[in-house]
Structure 1
C-alpha cells in the first residue's frame, strides 16, 4: 500500500510510506529508509503497533499511514523515560491506558527478610520443574477466570508468547506451586534468560491473605540466590497495590516504568 507523500515542513524532504508486507511499513526519505512501522496482534487479541523512525517527519508519516490502514483500538508500549517518543505517540492521538513499574528485587534473604518465611499450615511449595502439569493448568485457569470476573485479564501484564488457543500455561518447568492435598492454590513463574524475571505470581482468591504469595516469593528468591543471582526483575501494574506492597516489603526498588498507550 502506498500513501501520498508526507511533507514535514518547508525545506524538508517529502516522506513516502509504503506497506512492504502484512503488518510492516517503510518510510522513505529521498529514497532512503528513514523509519519502519510494525503491527502485531498479541495472543490476547490486542493489536500493538511500534515505530522506529529517524526523525519526526518519518514517524508522523508512518503513524498516519498505519492509523488509516489498521482497525481500532491500537496499542503501543513505550519507556516512560523516553519523553520524545511518548510525545510523538500523543501527537498521533494516543493516550495513556496503563503504567507498569519495573522492580529490581534482591534475592539475598538477609536483605529480603524472607529467610524464615514458611508457607501456612497445610501448604507446601513444589519447586519449579517438579509441579504436576495438570494441577498447574487447573490453578492457572482458575486464577485467570477469577481475574477476568473482576478487574479483567486485559488489565494484567500481557504475555507476548504464541500458544495454542485456550492454553494459558507457558513452559510448565518455569513454575513453582503452592500445594495442598486437594490441589494447587497458587503459582509463581520465573524465566531465567539473561536475568531472572518473575512473570507471574498469583493465588486463588479464596486462599489469599494467608501468606501464600509471600512464601512462593521467598522460595523463588532463595532458589535464585543459591544459583548465583543477586537480583530478579518484576513488572507490576501501578493499580496493583497488593503486588507493589509485596515487592517493596522485601526491598525491591522501582527502576523504570512503561506506558501502554491506546487509540
Structure 2
C-alpha cells in the first residue's frame, strides 16, 4: 500500500498531529510555543507527500505567523517548508570556538580600566536583570529584539533573563556593563549571548568577556565551545572569527506570515 497516498492525518493533542498508514505512524507534526510566544513547527515524515499532508492539516489550524528552523544543508527539508509557503527570515552561522588562549590569542587580553569580571554564577541577580533590561532596550531601539536568538527573547511576563546563574558579567563599581551567557549543551558548552551597554562599546569589554569564559572552559579541560551568530551581526562575526572560531554549519529560520 502506498503510504504517500493513504496517510490519514489526525490531531492527537492540542499541538500534535500524526499521519497513519497501514496502522503505522508514518509522520508526526508538532507546534512548539517558544518562551517569547512565537510558535515553531516541526514535521518528521517518511515521505514528501506525507510532509505536505501534515502541513496542509496543521497550518490552517494555527495562528500566524509561524516559524521553523532547518539545517541549511538539508535541501530536501528546506524545500518542503518552502513548498508550504515559508520563506527565509534570517541565517544563523554555527561556530566551533577554541578555548586555548594560545589559539585564540586572548591570553594577553587585559581588562579595561575600572572593569572587573564576575565568573559564571557570581553575579547579583537584581543588578544582572537591570543590565539585561538596559541592553534589551538598546537592542530594541536599533535592530529590534526579535533579531535575537530564541533563547534570549522576551517571555510573556516581559523577562528575558530567566537563569542568572548561566551568566558571567563585566562590572564597574556602580553597575554591570556587560554579560555573556554560557549554557551547557550535552558535552559542549554554548555561548548564547554577548552583550555590552551601548555607552561602553569599543572599549574591549566584549573581547574581555570572551577571554574570561573561554579561559575558564580551557582550564576545566573543555577544548571547544559552540556559538550561533546572526549573519547580520557584523561585530559578533568579527569577534568570533578573530579568535580562530570556524564555521561548522548554518541554520535558517523560516517564517510563514
Report the TM-score range of the alignment, normalised by the length of the smaller protein.
over 0.9
Unaligned runs of 5+ in 2: none
Say which SS state the counterpart of residue 221 (structure 2) adopts: coil
Pairing of 1:87-166 with structure 2 (within 5 A): 87-159=79-151, 165-166=157-158
Structure 2 residue aligned with 1:254, among 239, 247, 253? 247
Unaligned runs of 5+ in 1: 1-7
Pairing of 1:11-22 with structure 2 (within 5 A): 13-22=5-14
Q: Give the Cα–Cα distance (whole angstroms) in 2 for the partners of residues 31 and 253 of structure 1.
A: 46
Q: TM-score if structure 1 supplies the norm length?
A: 0.93
Q: Give the Cα–Cα distance (whole angstroms) in 1 for the partners of residues 22 and 164 of structure 2.
A: 51
Structure 2 residue aligned with 1:52, among 44, 47, 60? 44
Structure 2 residue aligned with 1:36, among 6, 15, 28? 28
On the 8 A contact 1:42/1:160 being kept in 2, the answer is: no
Q: Give the equivalent residue in structure 2 for 1:231.
A: 224
Quote the offset at 1:163 in angstroms. Answer: 6.5
Q: TM-score if structure 2 supplies the norm length?
A: 0.95
Q: Give the equivalent residue in structure 2 for 1:84.
A: 76
Pairing of 1:168-207 with structure 2 (within 5 A): 168-193=160-185, 194-207=187-200
Say which SS state the counterpart of residue 121 (structure 1) adopts: coil
On the 8 A contact 1:38/1:51 being kept in 2, the answer is: yes
Structure 1 residue aligned with 2:66, among 67, 74, 77? 74
The CA RMSD over aligned residues, in Å, is 1.7
